[in-house]
């Protein structure tokens, strides 16, 4: 398919406001995609690689701005791109506003008239080549490749290429719409598509299997060691709610650590974060432990926590010092000791266990790890008193609280439901996306001093408050460094940021307020931590804030 054809279809989808109509348009596009089906399924979500893949283009907004400026002509500077971005609001509209057919583009390729001739497969191939560019001078080579693509783009192609490059497709097509479109396009049940997506985490692959092999092919798809899936999530709840609903509850320790998915193929170990990033290299002691302990190939779910010299747990921030590490890993291993606490088994010895009850999965986990103390401690009871005692023991041991699980619950990747409940004894927190900021004053003038935080609201983000307390000077310096690459524009002290960084924010109360677009404001918000393990797409939603506000 011509890339321009895909872009025109994307524009039609973007212009459609109805959910059913959007699904219908996407289904029609997928059914006509031929050999480009997998690529198009990813492109319309702003993806080049499958959701499970850790591979990225590694192109920030600044590099994209430079590429657009170069393609637009010798008189256009990156600053001009930023100024036009402030006017037009998003990078696609900026790229579309320039004529990339000038002499600079012609000189780069030695021929004219190439605009509108790009194919989807060519764009995919070029972007994958760009992603593989590494080493000395890699940024310059990435810039050259991206510049070359833009010079071959018609205006509408430039619009969507810029969005794909920055993973901001913005056509109103979420994961649910793609799932339903695959079902409609190839006449397969939506729940069968959903299940296939859960075990593969690859929309492009699922679309192709649905077209070629139908529902039977989708049903045959299984977990694959080395290919991470989304983690099952918990919602807030009480022990009484759990017992009333389930009859009995499994209580287990809630660790103040970082979620990891462990993949062991019988020889090698791979570790993935909650965002499915590959974190194998920074965690060598976890790799060693699994290699020495696991009795069969497996996929495990658990948390990595940091411990002191006495084996007592350290705060979550200590774990992040290791997760962020790309260099001096041996040195950091000596400074921060990590251990695995496994609480679930998704696959063992060639058998998927997602549909088994949690009691069976936990029993298999004990067998896989040969009775190791790394398996989380649990109790199963209908007694609130016993759960209270277990919670007290967990807190006294320095852990965060307890989890409550339905003994009959299956493992549902990516879903947050009533089968897992989390109890925390301390203040409630929200995981919020930083979408704006303000430069500090006085001794903090060179650092960001205030952060505008937002909740997820569909495909956009709605502000809910500003955070300026609970942050030390050292943390401000680190947070400024973290946020600066995502600055879109500045006006005086105010900063507009692209949604990229997620903060855990504590608060005392959620109040209704006309000040923010969310309709709420946080009372006494304070910074708790950076959630490196979360993306803006997995931050807390406005629906959750609605529920929390109602339950206060």
> Exactly one of 254, 405, 466, 534 is catalytic; which is it?
254
How far, in Å, CA of 193 to CA of 48, rounded? 21
How far, in Å, CA of 50 to CA of 19, rounded? 24
Q: Which tokens in the block code for residue 155? A: 């205006």
- C-alpha distances out from residue 219 to 64, 166, 197, 224, 448, Å: 41, 33, 11, 14, 50
Nearest to 378 by CA among 255, 251, 256: 251
Q: Judge contact between 523 and 510, C-beta under 8 A.
A: yes
Nearest to 436 by CA among 475, 509, 491, 513: 491
Nearest to 163 by CA among 123, 109, 125, 129: 123
Q: Which tokens in the block code for residue 345? A: 């088994």
Q: What is the DSSP letter of 278?
A: B
Give helix then strand counts, H and E, for the chain: 21, 19
CA dihedral sign of residues 412, 209, 5, 121? positive
Cα 326 off chain centre by: 20
The helix, strand and coil proportions of the chain, stated in percent and rounded to the nearest 5, come to 45, 25, 35
State the DSSP H helix or E strand holding residue 156, giving kind and residue range, or none if neither. Answer: helix 155-165
Q: In this structure, what is the dihedral angle of CA atoms 208, 212, 217, 219, given to the nearest 10 degrees?
A: 50
254 as an active site residue: the answer is yes
- C-alpha distances out from residue 452 to 435, 444, 521, 541, Å: 6, 17, 11, 16
Other Cβ atoms within 10 Å of 167 Cβ, number: 16
Q: Which tokens in the block code for residue 399? A: 């852990």
Nearest to 434 by CA among 449, 448, 454, 450: 454
Q: Which residues belong to the active site?
A: 254
């Amino acid at each position: 398919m011509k890339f321009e054809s895909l872009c025109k279809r994307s524009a039609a989808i973007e212009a459609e406001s109805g959910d059913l109509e959007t699904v219908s348009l996407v289904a029609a596009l997928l059914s006509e995609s031929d050999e480009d089906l997998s690529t198009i399924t990813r492109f319309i979500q702003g993806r080049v690689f499958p959701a499970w893949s850790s591979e990225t283009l590694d192109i920030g907004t600044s590099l994209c701005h430079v590429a657009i400026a170069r393609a637009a002509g010798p008189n256009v500077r990156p600053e001009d791109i930023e100024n036009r971005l402030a006017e037009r609001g998003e990078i696609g509209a900026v790229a579309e506003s320039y004529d990339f057919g000038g002499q600079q583009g012609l000189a780069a390729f030695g021929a004219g008239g190439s605009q509108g001739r790009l194919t989807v497969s060519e764009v995919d191939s070029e972007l994958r080549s760009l992603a593989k560019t590494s080493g000395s001078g890699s940024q310059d080579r990435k810039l050259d490749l991206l510049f070359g693509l833009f010079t071959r783009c018609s205006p509408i192609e430039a619009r969507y290429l810029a969005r794909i490059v920055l993973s901001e497709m913005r056509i109103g097509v979420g994961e649910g719409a793609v799932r339903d479109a695959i079902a409609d396009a190839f006449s397969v049940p939506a729940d069968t598509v959903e299940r296939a997506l859960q075990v593969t985490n690859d929309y492009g692959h699922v679309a192709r299997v649905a077209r070629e092999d139908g529902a039977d092919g989708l049903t045959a798809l299984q977990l694959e060691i080395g290919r991470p899936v989304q983690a099952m999530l918990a919602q807030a709840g009480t022990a009484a709610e759990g017992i009333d609903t389930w009859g009995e509850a499994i209580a287990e320790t809630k660790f103040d650590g970082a979620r990891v998915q462990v993949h062991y193929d019988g020889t090698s170990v791979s570790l993935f974060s909650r965002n499915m990033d590959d974190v194998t290299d920074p965690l060598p002691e976890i790799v060693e432990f699994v290699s020495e302990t696991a009795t069969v190939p497996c996929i495990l779910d658990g948390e990595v926590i940091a411990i002191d010299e006495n084996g007592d747990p350290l705060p979550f921030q200590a774990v992040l010092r290791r997760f962020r590490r790309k260099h001096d890993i041996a040195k950091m291993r000596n400074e921060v000791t990590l251990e695995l606490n496994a609480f679930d088994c998704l696959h063992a010895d060639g058998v998927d266990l997602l549909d088994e009850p949690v009691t069976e999965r936990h029993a298999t986990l004990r067998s896989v790890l040969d009775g190791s103390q790394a398996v989380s401690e649990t109790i199963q009871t209908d007694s609130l008193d016993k759960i209270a005692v277990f919670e007290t023991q967990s807190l006294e041991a320095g852990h965060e609280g307890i989890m409550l699980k339905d003994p009959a619950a299956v493992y549902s990747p990516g879903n947050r439901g009533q089968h897992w409940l989390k109890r925390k004894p301390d203040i409630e927190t929200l995981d919020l996306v930083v979408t704006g900021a303000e430069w500090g004053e006085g001794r903090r003038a060179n650092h960001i001093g205030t952060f505008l935080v937002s909740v997820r609201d569909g495909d956009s983000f709605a502000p809910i408050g500003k955070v300026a307390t609970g942050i030390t000077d050292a943390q401000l310096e680190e947070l400024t460094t973290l946020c600066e690459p995502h600055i879109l524009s500045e006006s005086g002290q105010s900063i507009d940021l692209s949604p990229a960084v997620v903060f855990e924010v504590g608060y005392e109360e959620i109040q209704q307020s006309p000040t923010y677009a969310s309709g709420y404001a946080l009372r006494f918000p304070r910074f708790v931590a950076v959630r490196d393990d979360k993306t803006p797409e997995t931050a807390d939603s406005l629906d959750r804030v609605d529920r929390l506000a109602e339950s206060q």
